[in-house]
Amino acid sequence: MVQLHLKRGDESQFLFTTTVEVPVETLVQQVTAIYNGRLKVDRICSEIPELADHGVTLPPNMQGLTDEQVLDLKLKDEWEDRCVPSGGPVPCRDQVGRRNGHAPNPKMKEVLMKTVGEAKALISKKQAQADVCVTMEMVKEALDLLRGAVMIVYPMGLPPHDPIRMELENQEDLSGTQASLQVVAEDECQLWWAAKELQSGKKLQDYVGKNEKTKIVVKIQKRGQGAPAREPLITEEQQKQMMLHYYRRQEELKKLEETDDDSHLDSDWSDRQALKRQFQGLTNIKWGPR
């Protein structure tokens, strides 16, 4: 199996295994599904701590309003009595005014936070460092874990406007958000290897050969952004090791220079002709006027 190390820019994303026979368009589809799926898991994991601390999201027309403004406008959260966490709510006001302030109890909060850690571990970028390849099944497992934890804490479900529910039902609207810039649509995705774009209509073997034990670094790029920056000739770790080697060598040379002292050659005991001059009475001779 060919191992692909997927990167976006210079940032490592995940490892993926495939075969040299895979068509490029199929590879693009598989890679974008995993890449965008990991982003979805990250977005849900960033929202769940807010859910655990402050409860479900208020309706869009009530978010950011003070209690006085809600009363003046005669607004009411119709989902407040329906979406009650298991074991009863714990009051915890959301200072931002985005959530209703009815948080789950500590036990249910622990369920949510523990699941977030498990889901993040499944699709973590550290998996690449551990030489673990990420699959679409792992992404789906992470989503199922999060969906199950939310159902345990909120058996009646979340409001339809809650971003966690929208993400789990693939109804999220990311337009105008920073997250939308990270998502790469399948029809906009380009894969680059060795400064070459992998073209549709070809197979991976047309670029890397027929060796199934090949390991390559492939970069994900949006169409129209041009070729990504080439990979450095040496890795960051190799550069650190080289700098450490040169530093140690420099220190060794400094010590050699310090020990390479020939001032002792001016001493009397090191003069081979001193004894001869002493017998000839040629010691302590001074030249100059009396």
Stretch 166-185: mean pLDDT: 92
Q: Tell me the pLDDT band of 261, cut-offs 50, 70 and 90.
A: low
pLDDT at 20: 93
pLDDT at 184: 93
Average pLDDT, the chain: 89
CB 5 within 8 A of CB 215: yes
* Tens digits of residue pLDDT in 42-94: 999 999 999 999 999 999 999 988 888 988 998 988 988 889 999 999 999 99
Sign of the torsion angle spanned by Cα atoms 61, 63, 65, 69: positive
Q: Are residues 218 and 239 in the same domain?
A: no
pLDDT at 271: 67
Q: Are residues 115 and 74 in the same domain?
A: yes
CA 158/CA 235 separation, integer angstroms = 46
- Check whether 259 has a pLDDT greater than 90: no
CB 191 within 8 A of CB 28: yes
Whole domain around residue 248: which residue ranges? 231-261
In terms of pLDDT, which residue wins out, 268 or 224? 224
Prediction pTM value = 0.78
* Coil, strand or helix at 247: helix
Instruction: Quote the Cα angle for 2-237-232, to 5°.
Output: 65
CA 150/CA 156 separation, integer angstroms = 10
* Coil, strand or helix at 5: strand
Structural domain count, the chain: 2
Q: How far is CA 108 from CA 73, 98, 241, in A?
A: 34, 21, 47
Q: Are residues 116 and 243 in the same domain?
A: no
Q: Are residues 36 and 169 in the same domain?
A: yes
In a domain, 61, yes or no: yes
Q: Are residues 215 and 251 in the same domain?
A: no
Q: Are residues 163 and 48 in the same domain?
A: yes
Q: For residue 133, give the nearest of 30, 16, 278 by alpha carbon.
A: 16
